[in-house]
């Protein structure tokens, strides 16, 4: 089994990432499909793109608030 706490290799950058609490509810993917995708192998969402502008940053911040388990983390 993959250790979700340490295997963040598919995440693009350490600034925003999804931690081991993700339940793959897809809320972040539906809200921001440019920034998130579900990794079917690991069964969790991944940040596939870090915010590149203010609009994407706002979108990312919105996903932090809507995640039901607080699994989207800001490492800045």
- Chain residues in the site for ligand SF4 (CB under 6 A): 18, 22-28, 45, 67-69, 71-72
Q: Which regions of the chain does DSSP assign to beta strands (E)? A: 16-18, 36-39, 44-47, 72-74
Supply the minimum distance, in Å, between the C-beta of residue 8 and ligand SF4.
13
DSSP state of 39: E
Supply the minimum distance, in Å, between the C-beta of residue 44 and ligand SF4.
6
Q: What's the CA gap between 30 and 9, in Å, rounded?
A: 22
Supply the minimum distance, in Å, between the C-beta of residue 54 and ligand SF4.
22
CA neighbor of 57 nearest in space, from 27, 32, 75: 32
């Amino acid at each position: 089994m993959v250790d979700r706490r340490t295997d963040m290799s598919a995440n693009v950058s350490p600034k925003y990432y999804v931690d081991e609490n993700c339940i793959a509810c897809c809320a972040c993917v539906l809200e921001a499909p440019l920034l998130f995708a579900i990794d079917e192998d690991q069964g969790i969402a991944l940040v596939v793109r870090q915010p590149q502008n203010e609009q994407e940053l706002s979108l990312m911040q919105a996903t932090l608030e809507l995640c039901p388990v607080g699994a989207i983390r800001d490492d800045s």
